[in-house]
Structure 1
Amino acid sequence: MSARQQPNVTGTRPPPWRDERVLRVAVQVAFLAGVGALLWLLGGNLVRNMRAQGMRTDFGFLDQPAGFALTGTDFSSRDSIGDALLVGLQNTIVVSIWGIILATVLGVLVGIARLSTNWLVRKCAAGYVEALRNVPLIVFLLFLYLAVLQRLPRINDAFDAGGFVFSNRGLYAPWVAVAENSGIFLAICAGALALAAIVGAWRTRRFDATGEPHHRVLWGGAAFLIVAGVAWAVLDRPVSITLPSLEGRNVSGGYELSVEHGALLLGLLLYMAAFIAEIVRGSILAVPKGQSEASHALGLGGFQRYRYVVLPQALRIAIPPTGNEFINLAKNSALGIAIAFPELLRVTRIAIGQGQPAPQLVGIMMLLYLAISLLLSVVVNLLNRRLTRRGA
């Protein structure tokens, strides 16, 4: 057969029922359709049963007065149920953010300490990790709440540690006092942060061009401090530090942390830091040993070796599993219900106990927890993607 008579098979495509791309899309569409039909069936069945029992199926109850108060907050019984859910959501987010920050710092330090050449430091870090990882979190929270914080001195005999006040009523720490013209100062600080980023980028480009040490953190930090310091002085101290002061049975100034809030935050950060420490330790051990040997041959000290060689490579390995621990920490904040902390789950349960419809409240609670977890997952994935591209 001549070339002119040979069939041209390069541009032909298989029929749709044999095309891999078409089949892949069709299977996904069919799966989504099946899930949607199942949800529609279950939702319709739920609505019919609720109506048969005389339960309301709308969300108008969110605007009704709650009829209950939340201890440790400004929420009163006259506020709406929707506001109560927002208070619970706010408490959950605050505990999660502070827990993630503090647990990360402590976990990194303990993970590095587990690889220390000092026998005492290494064994103390190992004992901390093994002790907390093998105890249920709910038991640890109850121990902190009932056996530690509840046993602090009464407010009359509160322990004043020069800026920190500890009692079984609450924990008080220094905080920031904001004046009326603080909005201008915060706007200037935002501009100072942008300036610091620009200075850091300039130092990075100069390093790439000349090889001169960039010190971008020092340069950017100095630019921010200069601009913020001048603005703070010109605006007559719009932001200041207020210290708690014990006056009889009252404490004025500072930031008040209820015993329940303190127990939950302390329990989450100490418990999750043990898991993060193991992730950090494993990530450091996963860095090829030749990297440390090469940095030692270049004359780098122990801190420089970790700062410039080991930890940047270990960070790329540790980000994905550490992100899972962040999500676990946010979800474990629901255990605050065991120590009467008004987080999202406890507020939802109180509202249900007051006769409000449980299906809607549980559904809202699940969606809010899902949103928190998805947001953390997106942030961790973006950070992991950026570190991966930089490492490549």
Structure 2
Amino acid sequence: MSAPPPSKTNRWSWRSQAFRGLVYQVIAVAAIGLMVWLLAHNTLENMRVRGIQSGFDFLKSSAGFDIGESLFPFDSAEPYWRAFLVGLANTLRVALVGIVLTTLIGTLIGVGRFSRNALVRGLCSAYVEFFRNVPVLLQLLMWYLLLTELLPASYEAWQAGPFFLSKSGINFPIPDWAPGHLWAAIGLLAGVALAWMHQGWARRRFEATGKPPSIFWAPLAVILGAGLVGWIVGGAPTAMSVPKEGEFAIEGGGSLTPEFIAVLLGLTVYTAAFVAEVVRAGIQSVPRGQAEASAALGLNKGQEMRLVMLPQAMRVIIPPLTNQYLNLTKNSSLAVAIGYPDVVSIANTALNQTGRAVECIAIVMAVYLTTSLATSLLMNWYNDRAAIKER
């Protein structure tokens, strides 16, 4: 005699686990929303009682202050929202360049800790132990003092060809803008896409045949070649703005201020020490048999690390590496200590002038929350692509 079929529970019944879970989630979201509303209501009411103005209407008012460093022109008569935009651009410039340099340096240091050369291995270990154990704020101050105290004045700048180094920073030649540069940028982007496709093809061939790529620099050649083609199509502009010594300062060309250099160096060398440890741990997580199999295939140490060890280590490396990228971005807020005009510095100035503390802090929080979430989404996408798929 067969057992009676189990009774079906109505999914909208309280006996349904899914329905109860949905109700609990709705209650939790409602409670959180109520708490946020009460906090905002009480804050606004207290500000009204004390005669404190609120709202974001001040963003349309004239800022009334200059910004010493900006990627695009800014005048004190322009509104606050544009000043915040300048601060955001400065923050992103440090974060993006820092992430790239941190990845390169940290990877080299992490791989260097497996070197057979005792000197290289020792130097990489000393780098990690020193820079990760010194607070990042002290490192920012250290680099800033070195740049502003030890370097000569701008009228006595050290010169190496068209490059100048002084207390005012680094001055270097830059191209005079022309449409051909836009075409060159388009060519570089196309080259990156082609290089990505080439790497995918080379990896699939290696997995199928065991034959390593014959030309290591092929992706770089593709990128530079595509950029060169775009530059030629755009008319091959060659005009350059070259810096030269003026009566009181270096004139012409491009420049990097000591504040920007100090922030970039401090954040890069500090975070690279942690990235090196992440890379080292990821490589050590790969079974030793993989290295032995690579040697059996005739791969040298460079090919073994690039084609076998690092690809398998990426599944361990990427999650903690994402945390280091987020830390670098958020640590850039310490740049205010040495006078770099990032979004925190602009918010402090706007707060002192307008008294809109809640609004200015909210803008800063929104900036860092948005950049952090964007970084996490991008790295999660890359993590999904790099994950080893079981076949």
C-alpha distance in 2 between matches for 1:213 and 1:126: 30
Name stretches of at least 5 consecutive residues in structure 1 with no aligned partner. none
Using the TM superposition, name which of 102-111 and 247-256 deviates more: 247-256
Name the structure 2 match of 1:39: 36
| 2: CA distance, partners of 1:158 / 1:177 | 24
Structure 1 partner of 2:293: 294
Over 3 Å counting, the alpha-carbon distance change for 1:31 and 1:175 in structure 2 is farther
Deviations 1:94-143 (A, max 9, x none): 10000000011000011111121111111111111111111111111111
Is this contact kept in 1: 2:155–2:250, CA < 8 A? no
When structure 1 is superposed on structure 2, of 68-77 and 321-330 the one drifting more is 68-77
CA-CA distance at 1:356 after TM superposition: 3.3
Whole-Å Cα distance in 2 between the matches of residues 190 and 325 of structure 1?
A: 26
Contact 1:201–1:216 (Cα < 8 Å) also in 2: no
Give the corresponding residue for 1:89.
88
- SS across alignment from 2:14: helix
- Equivalent pair of 1:203/1:216 in contact (CA under 8 Å): no
- Identical columns (%): 38
Report the more deviating stretch, 308-317 or 270-279: 308-317
- State the shift of 1:259 in Å: 0.8
Aligned residue for 1:277? 276
CA-CA distance at 1:12 after TM superposition: 4.4
1:211: Cα distance to partner? Answer: 8.0
TM-score of the superposition, structure 1-length normalised?
A: 0.89
The CA distance in 2 between the partners of 1:89 and 1:373, in whole Å, is 13
In structure 2, relative to structure 1, the CA distance for the partners of 1:118 and 1:382 (3 Å cut) is same
- 1:30, CA displacement in angstroms? 1.2
Distance 1:291 1:368 in 2: 43
Check the 8 A contact 2:9/2:16 in 1, yes or no.
Answer: no
Residue of structure 2 equivalent to 1:151: 150
8 Å contact from structure 2 (residues 180, 235) kept in 1: no
Aligned equivalents of 2:226 and 2:325: distance in 1?
34
SS of the residue 2:134 aligns to: coil
Note the C-alpha offset of 1:15: 7.0
CA deviations 1:59-101 (Å, max 9, x no partner) are 1100101121111234332111111111111110110000000
* In 2: Cα distance, 1:240 partner to 1:315 partner: 43
Task: Name the CA shift for 1:360/1:319 in 2 (closer, same or farther; >3 Å).
Answer: same
SS class of match (1:17): coil
* Aligned twin of 1:140: 139
From the superposition, tell whether residues 290 and 210 of structure 1 become closer, same or farther in structure 2 (CA, over 3 Å): closer
Could you tell me which runs of 5 or more consecutive residues in structure 2 were left unpaired when the two chains were aligned. none
Alignment of 1:47-196 (within 5 A): 47-73=44-70, 74-187=73-186, 190=189
Q: Which residue of 2 aligns with 1:349?
A: 348
- Alpha-carbon shift at residue 343 of structure 1 (Å): 0.6
Provide the aligned length of Structure 1 versus Structure 2. Answer: 389
Q: CA–CA distance in 2 between the matches of 1:87 and 1:175? A: 21
What residue in structure 1 maps to residue 26 of structure 2? 29
- Deviation digits for residues 123-181 of structure 1 (CA, Å, limit 9, x no counterpart): 11111111111111111111111134432110111111234321101222344442145
* Separation of aligned partners in 2, 1:367 and 1:202: 40
Aligned counterparts of 1:145 and 1:346: Cα–Cα separation in 2: 17
Change (3 A) 1:16 1:246: farther
- Deviation at residue 261 of structure 1 after TM alignment: 0.8
Which deviates more, 295-304 or 218-227? 218-227
SS at match of 2:105: helix
1:209-263 per-residue CA deviation (whole Å, 9 max, x = no partner) reads 8887666986666565555434423432147665544444333444211111110
Q: Go from structure 1 to structure 2 and tell me whether the alpha carbon gap of 1:151 and 1:76 turns closer, same or farther (over 3 Å shift).
A: farther
Secondary structure of 2:75's aligned partner: coil
Q: TM-score if structure 2 supplies the norm length? A: 0.89
Hey, what does 2:261 align to over in structure 1?
262
Q: Aligned partner of 2:284: which letter? A: L
Q: Distance in 2 between matches of 1:208 and 1:116?
A: 26
Shift of 1:16: 2.5
Q: d(CA) in 1 for partners of 2:366 and 2:355?
A: 18
Moved more, 361-370 or 65-74: 65-74
Give the partner amino acid of 2:337. A
The answer on whether the counterparts of 1:204 and 1:216 sit within 8 Å (CA) in structure 2 is: no
- Structure 1 pair 142–207 and aligned structure 2 pair: CA distance change class (3 A): closer
CA distance in 1, matches of 2:96, 2:264: 10
Partners of 2:62 and 2:77 within 8 A in 1: yes
